[in-house]
Amino acid sequence: MNSVLIVLPILTLLMFDLGLVLTLDDFKLFLSRPKPVIAGLIGQIILLPLIAFILGKAFGLEPLFFIGFMLIACCPGGSSSNVFSKIAHGDVALSVSLTACSSIITLFTLPLIMAFVTNAVGGEATQCIAIACSPFVFNNSTIAVPAIIYSLMMNVILLLYVLYVNTLKR
């Protein structure tokens, strides 16, 4: 069975639930305090790819794994971050706003950064896997390996962290 047929309805339900708890006032707060959004965007779009590039070079990753690693770092936060923000009693409106803004910005930054990365290595989530395996982009499943590992581990680690933080608050 195709995993998309399982994941997509669950993701749709979770995003619908998030939409129900957000109000217009939540997003007005976002407009009145732009510093967290700017800091989040700088972190997601500049710092994360830069740190990933340095780590990839430092650990001497093979070119295809390096490209996959960078692809993960360049992709914006997605619905998982919004769901975990809600579970952690965080600022869901900020998370949704960051996801929306970074998704639009990465339409332009992702191709630029990935062109730089592929040249730097000698021309060798969920969104990352699609881009890596797409016959229209990289068409190479090896590039998707870091994204697949990240997708599996990220949710488990983040859920354990949120549970730990919530127990400390009690």
Specify the number of domains making up the chain. 1
pLDDT > 90? residue 101: no
Average pLDDT over residues 72-97: 82
The identity of residue 154, as a single letter, is: M
156 vs 50, residue with greater confidence: 50
Min mean pLDDT across 29-33, 44-48, 100-104, 106-110 is at 29-33
Instruction: Give the whole-angstrom CA distance, residue 87 versus residue 94.
Output: 14
Would the pTM count as exceeding 0.95?
Answer: no
Instruction: Give the whole-angstrom CA distance, residue 36 versus residue 97.
Output: 10
| 86: containing domain | 3-169
Coil/strand/helix, residue 71: helix
Work out the angle at residue 155's Cα, subtended by the Cα atoms of residues 98 and 15, and round it to the nearest 5 degrees: 50
Mean of pLDDT over the chain: 78
Instruction: Give the whole-angstrom CA distance, residue 60 versus residue 1.
Output: 37
Q: Model confidence at 124, in pLDDT bands (50, 70, 90)?
A: very low
- Alpha carbon distance, N-terminus to C-terminus of the chain: 41
| Contacts with 110 (C-beta within 8 Å, 6 or more apart), sequence order | 74, 75, 131
163 vs 59, residue with greater confidence: 59
What's the token pair of residue 23?
Answer: 């109000």
